[in-house]
Structure 1
Amino acid sequence: MSNDSPQATAAMSVLGGPPSRGRGRHWQLAVTAAVVTAAGWALATHRHTVDAGVDRLAVADRAWLLAAGAAALATWVCAALAQQGAVAERLPAGRLVAAQFGACAANHLLPAGVGASAVNLRFLTRCGVSTARSATALAVKAAVGGLVRCALAAVLLLASPRAPRLTPDLPRASLVIPVAGCLALAAAAGALSRPVRHRTGRAARQALADVRAVHGSRARACALWGGSLGFALVHAAVLVAVVRSLEVTVPAGQVVMAYLLASGAAVLLPTPGGLGSLDATLLLTLTAAGAPAAAALSAVFGYRLLTAWLPLLPGLLVLALLARRSLL
């Protein structure tokens, strides 16, 4: 696990570090524009369904919406816990949670998670962690988060054999894509020149040493894995609560599976905060799980409202405050 992950490299570019390749940034912006345009066209085409979804959300059960809001608040605490577990140093708890709240807002302004990576990278370096070890911590946190989501999806598939009926080919594809990516990465590594392999190997050895140090402490390992697990579960809980507020009779397990599949698929499209890509895949998986189109659209709106749109302005204000106090 190298500390030269694409998001960490792009984050360093945003913060004034080594610049990433301009061609890659242009490609990300082009994909972002294409996805957002396609999402806008789809919403305009199905305007009546959109109107029905908004109206249905307006009369949703308030108790369930409050529960969804409480779960949304817990997402930043879980993110802070996982970030603390990824580093050996003790981080200030209050500032760490505030940084995760601000990182969530920044993540909706820059593509491919660069905003959150930039905020966390700067926060860790301000806390005395070196840039290389901070980038490694971000890579470790991202890798553990991905593994946790895959494990949760596998457990749900095994516990509920009928769950794959909602998207017969998607679980299989979600396993094929990472395997293909690993094979491509191995082939690329084999094609590298000896000096590049030497530098990459040295960075990988340093990253491996950091990973061992983190897992050498039971408390840090529990914080890393427990925070990552909690982050995925509370995000899924937000969606489940919103679906329940709409009185949609879809089993909670299938809603959680829909979220896991949608969030995994949205990672493949580098849009800010999954804008367009996550919304479309969530709508697809919820509809395939048995939710009516208008209700599924309402659920996506409610989920996005609580996890992205409402926290956006307060998160930017927190970012400004942290920067003003030289904490970022």
Structure 2
Amino acid sequence: MSLLPLDDSPGPLPAPASPTTVSLVRSPATARLVHQAAVLLPILLIGVWAAVDWPGMRGGAARLASADPWWLLLAIFFTCLGWVTAACVRQGAVPDRLPPGLLLASQFAAGAANHVLPASVGAHAVTLRFLQNQGVSLARGTASIALYSLVKPIAKIPVLLVFVLAFPDMLELGALVPDDGTLLLVTGCVVLGPLAGALLVTAVRPLRRPALTLVRTALSDARLLHTRPSRVLALWGGAAVAPVFQGCVVASVGSALGLPLSWAQVVFAFLAAGTAVGAVPAPGGIGPVDAATVFAMTAFGAPLGLATATVVGYRVLTVWLPLVPGALVLSALVQRKVL
């Protein structure tokens, strides 16, 4: 019987990847181009947004030019406290220790991104990218943003109750209660958002496992965070104080322009306006919250023109003034690969 030689040679090798494909994926020039585009994109978007809103910015700046500079300086101080508070709340929502300086810089940059996209999408995207670069997993970073978004409106309720108990005469203004249309819109945004998300997860099977992982991570991290007093203070205390600081900015601008309302009335008007229409998605809350704040202050007896000028001045200090510096910080953080 003859023996046939065994063929030990390997089978046909797979065709190598196209050199063009490899060069496109791994080309240093392409990677450098993408990185430069990411650096310049924030400045471009902020520039377009500022150009579209230039008339309002110019009119508001002209109003503030004749205002009391000391009150405006106090308003800038409260604006800076708002960024510090935002950084505290972000740290309180994450079990991991974050570098304070970079965290504060990321929140300043997130403020610029927040005014381009609605419903805080820009700020959350910047924060999520920052957390990932600090070694926080995608699931834990997303869970921290969900906790942050849940705590902010809840923490505002006891603050409103304190104002109502301290100044009971504010309850006599029934005009502050939103109308049926506004209540329907807010209720729709609050109810339909989570419902749409649940239906999407139920209908699309590949999303179920990531969604369940996110829920489990969020619950686990929430339990862990609430065993640490420092995290509880940063999360809940910061979320309660942040809208008060924003209201103090409005009150400072109002004092600079001669608004005939007390600080308590202005801060309460801002808090009530944000609670009533804050769920309506708009870039940085601009639009619905502004209109509701003007309406609330006029309900307290402020002249319509002066109330409008106060809100426009508030937006100049909190949005337009830090817009370009925020975009530059955002680009710098992208350049240093912090984001």
1:113 aligns with 2:115: no
Match for residue 133 of structure 2 among 118, 126, 147? 126
Helix, strand or coil at the partner of 2:322:
helix
TM-score, normalised relative to structure 1 = 0.76
1:145 aligns with 2:168: no
Letter of the 2:125 counterpart: A
1:89 aligns with 2:96: yes
1:66–1:188 Cα change, 3 Å: closer
TM-score, normalised relative to structure 2 = 0.73
1:325 aligns with 2:336: yes
Q: How big is the alpha-carbon RMSD for the aligned residues of Structure 1 and Structure 2?
A: 3.3
Q: Give the CA deviation at 1:258.
A: 1.3
Helix, strand or coil at the partner of 2:119:
helix
Q: Give the CA deviation at 1:279.
A: 2.1
Helix, strand or coil at the partner of 1:253:
helix
1:176–1:300 Cα change, 3 Å: closer
1:292 aligns with 2:272: no
Aligned to 1:305: 316
Q: Distance in 1 between matches of 2:176 and 2:235?
A: 32
Any gaps of 5 or more consecutive residues in structure 2? 1-51
Match for residue 169 of structure 1 among 177, 185, 189? 177
1:271–1:186 Cα change, 3 Å: closer
Q: Distance in 2 between matches of 1:185 and 1:229?
A: 24
Match for residue 262 of structure 1 among 273, 276, 280? 273
Letter of the 2:283 counterpart: P
Letter of the 1:82 counterpart: V
Residues 68-106 of structure 1: CA deviation (Å, up to 9, x unaligned): 011101111110111111111111111000000000000
Any gaps of 5 or more consecutive residues in structure 1? 1-36, 44-49
Q: Give the CA deviation at 1:66.
A: 0.6
1:89–1:202 Cα change, 3 Å: closer
Identical counterparts, % of pairs: 40
Q: Distance in 1 between matches of 2:192 and 2:109?
A: 36
Match for residue 227 of structure 2 among 216, 223, 240? 216
Within 5 A, what are the aligned runs for 1:38-49?
Answer: none
Letter of the 1:223 counterpart: A
Q: Distance in 2 between matches of 1:111 and 1:182?
A: 18
Residues 123-173 of structure 1: CA deviation (Å, up to 9, x unaligned): 000000001110111111121111112221222223322213063423997
Q: Distance in 1 between matches of 2:192 and 2:328?
A: 43
**Number of corresponding residues:** 284
Q: Distance in 1 between matches of 2:296 and 2:87?
A: 29
Helix, strand or coil at the partner of 2:258:
coil
Q: Give the CA deviation at 1:260.
A: 1.2
Aligned to 1:273: 284
Aligned to 1:228: 239
Q: Give the CA deviation at 1:276.
A: 2.2
Q: Give the CA deviation at 1:217.
A: 0.7
Contact 1:166 1:289 in 2 (8 A): no
Q: Distance in 2 between matches of 1:250 and 1:243?
A: 8
Aligned to 1:6: none
After TM superposition, the structure 1 stretch with the greater mean CA deviation from structure 2, 310-319 or 260-269, is: 260-269
Greater CA radius of gyration, 1 or 2?
2
